[in-house]
Amino acid sequence: MSNQTTVTEFLLWEFSKVRELQILHFVVFLVVYLAALMGNLLIITAMALDRHLHTPMYFFLINLSIIDIGLISATLPKSMANSLMNTRSISYAGCIAQVFFLFFLVGADFFLLTVMAYDRYVAICQPLHYERVMNRGVCVQMAAGAWASGFVYAALHTGNTFAVSFCKGNTVDQFFCDIPQLLKLTCSDSYLTEMGIILFSAGLVLCCFVFITVSYVQIISTVLRIPSEQGRHKAFSTCLPHLTVLSLLVCTGCFAYLKPISSTTSQLDLVVAIFYSVVPPVMNPIIYSMRNKEIKTSLWKLTGWWLPTKI
């Protein structure tokens, strides 16, 4: 523990030592961050103000947008501030906070996507029972369960990660505090506990993924029996974006956390981290607004801007 207490701060990934490129990195991340904030806030506001969107599916989408805002806010602002101020440091407490909120929000995100798959299964495969099964109380309990699961998930990972001693320096090869990069700095076998939790988490993710896959197999088989082409298009336009976001999150997350720590270069780790921590919060508003006529109509009413009604 004496080695651990000497680490008062960590040094994050430095995109470039050239000042002009640091400013460029700041500007690019700022544009991405503002786009994610604006897109998710618009969706939250539109759904909250439009009574026609007060349904279980849009209730879960509001929760997803809130998670996306928190997720991108947990990583990008510190990286932008470091580039702007020409520094790399993050405090020990700040690193703990980043790890906790990252796992809290990613965990809540994945469990919420699982709930959304069940919601779409009931809506499409059992439409006559939808209002009874997915009533307001059940929806609130499911959303609360996703948030609570994310909290427990984050507490386990954060507690085990920072219970170890860091004696191999304090340089984190990532633009935010990420557990695989932190484990490179440990100097004892105590990190194996965290690796065990990661494997357990992978098993849990696999179970959820199997549940989601089975749900979508049922959905697709039901959709193919719909005689109306418009009905099939509406069902697929709801499900395919969900599958896209889920696949991106699962594939990049599993690659980052299940591969051997030293098997890839830091540049590849950086790209993968961007895909699971930055891309989903930016893409979710685009996917759900541009492929959903009801949301586009609500946004048009809210902003007064012209939005195309066809892709």
Q: What is the pLDDT of residues 253-264, one digit of tens each?
A: 888 787 776 645
pLDDT at 49: 82
Measure the CA–CA gap between 304 and 291, rounded to whole angstroms.
Answer: 19
Of the candidates 307, 306, 299, which has an alpha carbon nearest to the alpha carbon of residue 41?
Answer: 299
Q: What pLDDT score was predicted for residue 183?
A: 83
pLDDT of residue 191: 64
Q: Kindly give the parts of the chain with pLDDT less than 70.
A: 1-5, 188-191, 230-232, 234-238, 261-266, 289-292, 302-311
Distances (CA, A) of 146 to 111, 239, 272, 276: 5, 20, 24, 18
Strand, helix or coil for residue 159: helix
Please, what are the domains in the chain? 2-303 (1.20.1070.10)
Phi and psi of 171, rounded to 5°? -95, 120
Characterize the bridge pairing of strands 89-91 and 9-11.
antiparallel
pLDDT tens sequence across 11-61: 998 887 888 888 998 999 999 999 999 989 988 888 888 888 888 888 998
pLDDT for the residue numbered 310: 43
Which pLDDT does position 147 carry in this prediction?
95
Length of the chain as a residue count: 311
